[in-house]
Amino acid sequence: MKAKRWFSPPVTAVLALVLMVGVIFFTSCRDGGDAAPAATTGLTQDAQAIANERGLSPADVTAALKTYVPSGQHDDYIMFSSGGHAGQVFVIGMPSMRLLKTIGVFTPEPWQGWGYGDMNSMNVLREGSRNPDEHIITWGDTHHPALSETDGDYDGEYLFINDKAHARIAVISLKDFKTKQIVPNPIALSNHGGAFVTPNTEWVIEGGHYAAPLSGDYAPLSEYEAQYRGMITLWKFDREIGRLVQDDSFAIELPPYWQDLCDAGKLASDGWVFCNSFNTEMAKGGVEKGNLPFESGVSQYDTDLLHVIHLERAVEVAQNGGTVEMNGLSVIPLETAISEGLLYFIPEPKSPHGVDVSPTGEYIVVAGKLDPHVTIYGMTEIKEAIERGNFDYDEFGVPILDFDETVVARVELGLGPLHTQFGPDGYAYTSLFLDSAVSRWTLGGAYADLNDDPEWEMVGKISVHYNIGHLTVAHGDTVNPHGKYLVALNKWAVDRFQNVGPLLPQNFQLIDISQPGDQMQLLYDMPIGVGEPHYAQIISADLLDPWEVYPEVGWDAQTNTISPNATFQGEERIVRDGNNVEIFMTSVRSRFVPEHVEIRQGDKVTWHITNVERAYDAIHGIAVPEYNIHISLEPGETVTFEFEATRPGVFSYYCTEFCSALHLEMKGYLLVQP
């Protein structure tokens, strides 16, 4: 029998043993601790021997105790991780770090039948390609997953994720963990500042990346300042239908700096959006022509420009006709953005990476890759500076606020600070790429009542292995951070795992952050041998409420209602209209009906299949050889696939999920007459 889900049996077995040892360590360490129950003494003696033999330290044992989830018990948290250039999303249980699912998003995924004939997935991939008649794009460089929010906290309903390589945003429903929509950005070919959501998910933010003409047309690099532009797009999300609505969305034209990560304001900064930028030098590269390479060309100035966008005002301007249409998207021109007072810049330490808004929304934390500090801007100070109106201007006429007037603190953390997340206790956590470490520091000011020591200062640091990019804390970018667990998303694994050849996995490291001060404990290394995951979000598992089976038999996962092609038992049939053949099939343990599909070469086949099962986990699949078709049929689901019967012969279609003892008998013959 093949296993349906991935677990890590050796690790789990080891942890089980270590758990027992932990009882000894724990009881012997506690002041006047309770004696271990007499009945387990013999067992723990054996476990002690195992720990000794395996060379496990007390810290190893406590780490095991904190991560082991016994068979049948569930994880407390679920992490949604970008799949990097795998173009997918990984769903990982925490603290066990067990992989529960890989969601096919931008990349076809055969187990789910994502992109292998299922017309829903084929249509999503097709609509997600700018020029589908030239080619369907079948991968993505996923970077930033964003869970939908209500009142600034995760609500467990939707997940959004960007594709940096093609400037696209995908929408995933957490009812069935399926991708419902992919939208290509009409005015950009690369993004980085997405996906981030506003506190009630009215807007999904997609910031651009490498400047280019917004029209998509050619322009030589000599016309960079005149023709090239940056942008930020605000996608309107319709929660009722679970889709981004392009007609209600808009973009803002920006100078041709390279916009980087963004974040939405919340509470004190609700109605505002913040984006970093780099290459305010407008370097054009061309090292082979004797020009400065991009590497140093974009790092010449001491500061770049934090973009501060008044979203509320931008929405008003967009809704009152202050836009021009570009490739079907409403765009607020740069001069309008300036004259309407919805765009401001603030100098920020050069080559910044993350911009992260604190839980109260009061602080905007920027980390500059080439500056050992994080820089913290105050929303109150930003609003006051805008009010005063005493601006400098960049060469495009965008008002620049004063650095010293808007910065409330700078905290020295170490080398290569990138991204910041927050805890419930006034702590912030920043990844340090060059130091390969996570630093913990205290937010002063508004957090004074939460901190014992209400200063802006670093209080702890823990090494990670190695070259950390993002880090993520449970609910760590919401108004209600949980703390507890932090995951370091490390780019290099080097010596952490068995050598598997020159292409190494990434390393997710689970860190316990439940203790104060400099007490942070590394608990677990999880190799990720797929893509290069960039960022992840962690949600309390009890906030997720996915379907166990589809609500009714005949469910269309795309329209969220009964499919007109739903087929019930007893209604199975094959309908011919000239060269067009339509098949209405059911699947149930352990047969397809009909079992004979007899057609002629050249027929155009439309095949509907309904899994009429109502039992949890009673999944079937259908594979049709030679036609590149594989479909997953979840209980209640109706799926349609199409193909042209170009090749005569005898084709055995069969069920691909080991659904019952007679699973191998669940097959049929597709007979194509010449």
Question: Distance of CA 534 to CAs 200, 350, 456, 471, Å?
Answer: 24, 22, 28, 9
**Residue 418 in contact with ligand CUK, rule: CB under 6 A:** yes
Strand-pairing partners, residue 439, are 430, 461
Scored b (16 or more CB within 10 A) or e, 194-233 reads bbbbbbbbbbbbbbbbbbbbbeeeeeeeeebeebbbbbbb
Kindly state whether residue 143 participates in binding ligand CUK, applying the rule CB under 6 A. yes
For the segment 242-261, give every residue that binds ligand CUK (CB under 6 A). 261
Residue window 524-553: x/- pattern of binding to ligand CUK, with contact defined by CB under 6 A: ----------xx------------------
User: How many amino acids of this chain bind ligand CUA (CB under 6 A)?
Assistant: 8
Give the Cα separation of 487 and 378 in Å (integer).
27
Q: How far apart are the first and last CA of the chain?
A: 37
Q: Least distance (Å) from ligand CUA to the CB of residue 116? A: 17
Does the protein bind ligand CUA through residue 667 (CB under 6 A)? no
In the complex with ligand CUA, the residue whose CB is nearer, 8 or 660, is 660
Partner that binds at residue 184, options ligand CUK, ligand CUA, none, CB closer than 5 to 8 Å by kind? none
Alpha-carbon span 313 to 175, nearest angstrom: 34
DSSP 147-180: EEEETTEEEEEEEEEEETTTTEEEEEETTTTEEE
Q: How would you class 17 by CB atoms within 10 Å of its CB: exposed for 0-12, middle for 13-18, buried for 19 or more?
A: middle
Nearest residue to 252 via CA among 313, 175, 174, 161: 313
- Contact between 659 and ligand CUA per CB under 6 A: yes
Residue 655 binds: one of ligand CUA, ligand CUK, none (C-beta under 5 to 8 A by kind)? ligand CUA
Which residue in 582, 585, 634 sits closest to 613, CA to CA?
634
Say whether residue 663 binds ligand CUA (CB under 6 A). Answer: yes
The 35-54 site mask, x for binding ligand CUK (CB under 6 A), equals --------------------
Q: Are 376 and 422 in contact (CB under 8 A)?
A: no
Shortest Å, Cβ 535 to ligand CUK: 5
470 binds, among ligand CUA, ligand CUK, none (CB under 5 to 8 A by kind): ligand CUK
CA atoms within 13 A on the CB side of 612: 19
CA–CA separation, 98 vs 15, rounded Å? 13
**Does 513 engage in binding with ligand CUA (CB under 6 A)?**
no
Please tell me the distance from the alpha carbon of residue 439 to that of residue 68, in angstroms, as a whole number. 26
Under rule CB under 6 A, residue 620 binds ligand CUA:
yes
Which structure tokens are listed for 469?
């990019």
Which residue reads 């013959």 in tokens? 669
Nearer to ligand CUK, 511 or 631 (CB): 511
Which of ligand CUK, ligand CUA, none is residue 353 near (CB under 5 to 8 Å by kind)?
ligand CUK
Least distance between ligand CUA and beta carbon 139 (Å): 30
Q: Residue from 273, 666, 670, 672 that binds ligand CUA (CB under 6 A)?
A: 666
Query: Which does residue 525 touch among ligand CUK, ligand CUA, none (CB within 5 to 8 A, set by kind)?
Result: none
Determine if 209 is a binding residue for ligand CUK (CB under 6 A). no
Q: What is the DSSP letter of 39?
A: G
Closest approach, Cβ 663 to ligand CUA, in A, equals 3
Among 590, 594, 642, 643, interactor with ligand CUA by CB under 6 A: 590
Site for ligand CUK in 318-357 (CB under 6 A): 353
Nearer Cβ to ligand CUA (65/655) = 655
Minimum CB distance to ligand CUA smaller for 520 or for 618: 618
Select the binding partner of residue 657 from ligand CUA, ligand CUK, none (C-beta < 5 to 8 A, by kind).
ligand CUA
482 binds, among ligand CUA, ligand CUK, none (CB under 5 to 8 A by kind): none
Which residues make Cβ contacts (< 8 Å) with residue 42, sequence separation at least 6?
Answer: none
**Torsion sign across C-alpha atoms 386, 390, 392, 396:** positive
| Residues 6+ positions from 347 with CB-CB distance below 8 Å | 303, 304, 305, 306, 400, 403
Please tell me whether residue 645 binds ligand CUA under the rule CB under 6 A: no
**433 contacts ligand CUK (rule: CB under 6 A):** no
Cα gap 61→58, rounded to integer Å: 5
**Which of the listed partners (ligand CUK, ligand CUA, none) does 144 bind, with a CB threshold of 5 to 8 Å by partner kind?**
ligand CUK
Residue 439: how many CB atoms within 10 A of its CB?
Answer: 23
Q: Which helix (H) or strand (E) holds 439?
A: strand 437-442
Interface segment toward ligand CUA; rule CB under 6 A; list 75-83, 395-403, 512-520, 656-664: 656-664
Which residue, 470 or 620, has its beta carbon nearer to ligand CUK?
470
Q: Does 367 bind ligand CUK (CB under 6 A)?
A: no
Tokens of 29: 């360490």
What is 573-632 written as a DSSP string?
EEEEETTEEEEEEEEETTEEESSEEEEETT-EEEEEEEE---STT--EEEEETTTTEEEE
Considering the rule CB under 6 A, would residue 475 count as an interface residue with ligand CUK?
no
Between 163 and 572, CB nearer to ligand CUK: 163
CB nearer ligand CUA, residue 243 or residue 663? 663
631 binds ligand CUA (CB under 6 A): no
The listed partner (ligand CUA, ligand CUK, none) that binds 403, CB under 5 to 8 Å by sort, is none
Look-up of token digits 């997710």: 508
Q: Is the Cβ of residue 101 or residue 470 nearer to ligand CUK in the bound state?
A: 470
Stretch that binds ligand CUA, among 11-19, 94-102, 569-577, 659-667 (CB under 6 A): 659-667
What track of x and - describes contact with ligand CUK for positions 178 through 207 (by CB under 6 A)?
--------------x---------------
Q: Token pair 């890590």 is at which residue? A: 8
Kindly report the three-state secondary structure assignment for every residue of 194-224: EEEECCCCCEEEEEECCCECCCCCCCCHHHH
To the nearest whole angstrom, how small is the minimum distance from the Cβ of residue 489 to ligand CUK? 9
Question: In the bound complex, what is the minimum distance in angstroms from residue 47's beta carbon to ligand CUK?
Answer: 41
Site string for ligand CUK, 257-286 (x = CB under 6 A): ----x-------------------------
Element of type H or E holding 395: none
**Cβ-contact 153, 478 below 8 angstroms:** yes
Which listed range, 287-295, 343-351, 597-605, 657-665, lies at the site for ligand CUA (CB under 6 A)?
657-665
Tell me: does residue 469 bind ligand CUK (CB under 6 A).
Answer: yes
Within 10 A of 190 (CB to CB), how many other CB atoms are there?
17
655 near ligand CUA, judged by CB under 6 A? yes
Q: What is the DSSP letter of 380?
A: H
119: left (phi over 0), alpha (psi -120 to 50) or beta: alpha
What's the sign of the alpha-carbon dihedral 24, 26, 31, 35? Answer: negative
CB of 102 to ligand CUK, least distance (A): 20
657 touching ligand CUA, by CB under 6 A: yes
List residues binding ligand CUK (CB under 6 A).
Answer: 143-144, 192, 261, 353, 418-419, 469-470, 534-535
List residues binding ligand CUA (CB under 6 A).
Answer: 590, 620, 655, 657-659, 663, 666
